[in-house]
Each structure stands twice: as C-alpha cells, then as structure tokens.
Structure 1
C-alpha cells in the first residue's frame, strides 16, 4: 500500500501520551509511506512501514508537488508505477521547515515507480489545464483509464493561481486519464451538472461488465463554494464507451 500525503502531525517530547494533552505539530510530509500488505500486522503493535523521500531518484529537475485532496491511481496491472494526479497545496503552517509553495500546473500527472522509487512527470496541460482538487475519482485498471470528476481550484492550486485575489472556482467536466499512453481528455459532464453546477467532494466508483465498457457511478458531494455549499446526490451515471458518453 502506498500513501502519498502532504500533511503530517507529530508530537514533540513534551506531549502527554497518556492523557493526550500538549502541543501537536502539523507540517508537510515529504515522504511516500509504504506498508507491506502481504503480511499480517496490527497498527497498535507491529505495523511495519517504510518512508521513501520524495526528493530521491527524480527523473526531472522539477519538484514533485506536495499536495492533498488529489488522487492516487494504481495504473495498469503490468505497470510498475502508481500515479498522482491533481491536488492542492495545504496552507497550514507555511512557516514549517520544508514547506513547498504551489508549483507549476504544467505537470499535473506524476508517476512513482514502485521498484526504482523514481518520479516521472507527464505534461497533460493541453487537455487538463487546471490542477483540480476535492473532486471525485475512480479507476478502471483493466482499461488503463482513470477518472477525475469536477473538483475545484483555489489560490493554492498552482504558482499561477497563487494570490489572495484568486477565488475558489468549481470546475466542470471530467478528466479521463489514459495511464498506458499518459494522455488526458476533458469530457463534458453537462448532464450531471445541469441541476446545480459542478460538485466538490463526493465519491465515484467504476463498475465493469455493464454496457460496452462498464459504468461510472458518482454520488454525494456539494455544489457552491466553502461559504455556500449545497449537498445532494447524483442520480445519473456515466457510460464508458470508445468515445466516453454520458447517459
């Protein structure tokens, strides 16, 4: 199991572990955490994890973005990479040592090789021009496809969005990632968003062997911004065909 997250909470030496009182320190996590799922473990007693530094074995001079609320995809069965897509730089404790400012959105898709521990960046900005976060995601590994529905951009999404005058903006459409060829396509989701606009949050799941190539079911989430969120459930689904369509 691979965990790629940007925020970690630690306890300093003066924290009271018995009564759980005292200060906590929250800051960026610059590691990929791996847990071997082939053996049994108990998180309270014998969990064995390995922390891999994100900065090691880079195949590019660009930094791997420290983001949260993106998506991590398994990729095709014969691919040794897992894929990080989208996300937003957290603005908590920006004075923390090692905190990373939002990076360029040209490289929204990154591959992490589970054997060499190296990172590869993929330029899909022409078809996925924004680094979306807080969207719903799903994956069809047997098709080599991954999906990111709606979501939003904020002033912490990328270096060009950075600034107090950049309002949060909900994004329409769904990004379809071809993880075999490392390309992207932005697909219209008007039939889903017509009853309230694009959504943030919620969940999405891929169900195979229904229709030509399976279906995506999306439910939950909210419309609006953080100050005026409207919750609801989606009652429609996406059919996966050679040309992705909505029905």
Structure 2
C-alpha cells in the first residue's frame, strides 16, 4: 500500500507515495545506521502527458531481458486526499501499461487493447527468464474509472457516499510479454469466482510444462450479495492451492490441489515472496507468505508460513503480535527477504478508495522506516542486510516435517 502518513502538531494527514523505491543489494547495510534508498519519481518527461498517473494496488515488473526498464501495470487512483497539488482524478486513458527507462530516466506508455479495464488488486507474478508478467483477476472501483468517480448517488433525495466502497470483481489472467508489450486476457473460468488480493507465484521448475507453473492461493471473492464491497466478500480457504501450466495455450485449465500441515487462517492482502526457494537436493520448492488481513473480523496477521511443494504442506515458522497488510516481500541476496511498507491499523483498510479517513492521531504506524529483513533459513528478523550471507538452506522446521535438505 503506497500510502504515507504525516503528522504535525495540529493534525494528521494522509497522502499517496509518489515514488518507486530502489534499495542497493550490492553491498551490506543496516536499516538503523547506513541504510539509503533511491527514489524514482513519476515526473521524468517534460510533457505532463508523458508521465504515468499515481496508482495504488497495481503491478511492478523487473523485465530482466529489458535490463534498463521497469514496467508498471494497472492500479487505482488515490482518493483519500485531493489537496495535494500533484493529485489527479482517475484517468480516462486506455494506457494501463507504462515502462520506465532507468538509464535515460524516461517514461513510456503503451495502449494495450487486450485489457478493456484498468484492473487493480490482482495477484502478481513474473517469469523473469522470459520477461512475462502475470496479473490474476483483480477488481474495478471508483478509483479505476472517471465515470464512477464523478457519478453521484442519491438516497432519499440526499447525496450518498454508499457506493464509494463498491467494487466489481474481474475475471481473467492478464499475460504481458514485457519484451514486445503484447498482452493476452486469458480465461480463468476453470479457476472459479474471481478474487482479489491473493497470492500468485510463478515456478519455472515445478510441473511438466516447459512454460512452468502458476500457483495461486488465498484472497477474497464475492460473498454473493447484490452489491460487492471491500468488506462483504468471502475469504478463500488456504486448504486449497490452484495451479495452471497451460497459460500459454489456447485452452487454459486450472487445477485444485489440497494442502496439509499448519494451514493458515483465510486472509487477503498478505505479501508473497516473488520467487520460490529451492532445496539443495531439489526435493522441494518453498513459497513464503507473511501477514495479511481479514476484513470480516478486522484481524491483522503477523505470521510467516512456508508452502512446500510437491507435498503441498504448510509450515508455520513465525508468529508475532505486530500485524501488517498491504506490504511487499522482496528477495534480497541469497537468503533474505526485505519486508517494506504496509499498514498496521485496521482503520486504514481500503481508505485510499473509500475516502473514509480515520482519526490519524490515533492510528498505529511504524516507528522507523518501515523496512525489515527476514532470514529465510534461520527464520529470524533483523535490520542487517548481509550481502555475503551463505546460500539458502531449507529451514530445519520444514525439514522436520517434509524431509529433504
């Protein structure tokens, strides 16, 4: 959730972060002493129309073959504070894919006709070998549409904001060739009801297809009410993982696989480590998730789970008391994960779209920079990024359950 809170002596303010943050993992550093970050702003071109809008809940792809480009896709406009001089209403344009050239510092937009909506809050994954980005399902809300944003609803002759929390679930898997910018909108009918804010991981090694396999789990789907909102959906049980290895074919099929072990409580808006971690003996691939939120009970989760495949076993490897949602998990070095951002207060859930801002003086926030590190092998939190750390090993807690090394 790229939102930042600022508080002065009189009142708190909430605003959108306008940057892509770059962390240097080419050397060791400590968050508390010598940590630095680079910020990539959206105003690089001299023509205002040549710069992307500020977006929330979209996707960011690295595109390693296009070594000097980052890609952003989809997203929803920030609607909780329109007093910022840089604020803009939801865009009416057809360009939901942008790239940023890190060498010449320039943005470029692409008109992709294969995506009729600007989706947000879909599950995101990337095949970094072939430069393919994936965006699974997602939603459409008043931050996605100028028409919805400007529409007025009346109840009993009085203007109402009841529709501000309404969402429309979107089916389909968007497959983006980041080298050619060609897109496909692939059917997800065999997956079931569309979902938002779940997990998606691309595995290049699991399965029989040369294309690799997508695995998805968790998130929220429609609860079957006449109108869908941010809070009335049904969370998807983590006892089932859905897989697809035919996403490049004309006929796409998803399969369900039951899981065992320490199955996580249903949740949404958790973070997923983008890449699997492989056992040395190739006996398992391991997928990490952290945190999340249950809007039905306003529960924030502070726990870490590992899904081991092919046994499809969940193992809980950490449990704490500082819940978080809307954050990101990022691979760093050979065996660490950087956890950045997110929200620590249930009152901030969906505020960026509904505009229902709480009393920010009573809102829980991070004391520091909102960056921490987790050792994926030792299962410990810290503030030090060790560039020279040894290679990844499957945690002993997982080995004790599934074996291997």
Gaps of 5+ in 1: 15-21
**Which ranges of 4 or more aligned residues in structure 1 deviate by more than 6 Å?**
none
Q: Distance in 2 between matches of 1:32 and 1:149?
A: 22
1:228 pairs with 2:232: yes
Query: Residue 60 and residue 25 in structure 1: after superposition, are their counterparts in 2 closer, same or farther (change >3 A)?
Result: closer
Q: Which has the larger radius of gyration?
A: 2
Tell me if structure 1 keeps the 8 A contact 2:65–2:130: no
CA shift in 2, pair 1:59/1:123, >3 Å: farther
Secondary structure of residue in 1 paired with 2:150:
coil
Residues 76 and 104 (structure 1 numbering): CA distance in 2 closer, same or farther, change over 3 Å?
farther
Q: 1:242 deviation in Å?
A: 4.1
Post-superposition offset of 1:53: 2.8
Deviation at 1:204, TM superposition (A): 0.3
Structure 1 equivalent of residue 186 of structure 2 = 187
TM-score, normalized by length of structure 2?
0.53
- CA distance in 2 between counterparts of 1:139 and 1:33 reads 19
Q: Secondary structure at the match of 1:246?
A: coil
Task: Give the conservation status (yes or no) of the 8 Å contact 2:51–2:107.
Answer: no
For 1:185 and 1:237, locate their aligned partners in 2 and report how far apart those are by CA, in whole Å: 19
Give the 5 Å matches for 1:156-175.
156-164=143-151, 167-175=166-174
Q: Give the whole-Å Cα distance in 2 for the aligned partners of 1:59 and 1:191.
A: 44
SS, match of residue 195 in structure 2: coil
Kindly provide the CA deviation profile for residues 82-105 of structure 1, in whole angstroms up to 9, marking residues without a partner as x: 110111112111223321211134
CA pair 57-96 structure 1, distance change in 2 beyond 3 A: closer
Once the two structures are superposed, residues 201-224 of structure 1 have per-residue CA deviations (whole angstroms, 9 ceiling, x without a partner) of: 110000113322110000001112
- Aligned residue number for residue 205 of structure 1: 201
**Alignment counterpart, residue 58 of structure 2, candidates 63, 66, 70:** 70
- Separation in 2, partners of 1:139, 1:159: 29
Q: 2:26 aligns with which of 38, 58, 71?
A: 38
Question: In the alignment, which of 211, 217, 220 is matched to residue 219 of structure 1?
Answer: 217
Contact in 1 for aligned 2:65/2:179 (Cα 8 Å): no
The structure whose residues are more often helix, as a share, is 2
Contact 1:27 1:99 in 2 (8 A): no
Structure 1 SS opposite 2:191: helix
Matched, 1:238 2:226: no
Q: Which residue of the partner structure matches residue 337 of structure 2?
A: none
Residue-pair matches, total: 231
Contact 2:96-2:111 within 8 A present in 1 as well: yes
Farther-moved stretch of structure 1 (148-157 vs 92-101): 92-101
Tell me by how many angstroms 1:169 deviates: 0.6
Q: CA deviation at 1:45?
A: 2.2
Gaps of 5+ in 2: 154-162, 223-227, 255-405
Is 1:138 matched with 2:134?
Answer: no
Aligned partners of 1:105 and 1:158 also within 8 Å: no
The answer to whether structure 1 residue 147 and structure 2 residue 145 are counterparts is: no
CA displacement 1:136-173 (0-9 Å, x = unmatched): 11111112211101100001113244234574210011
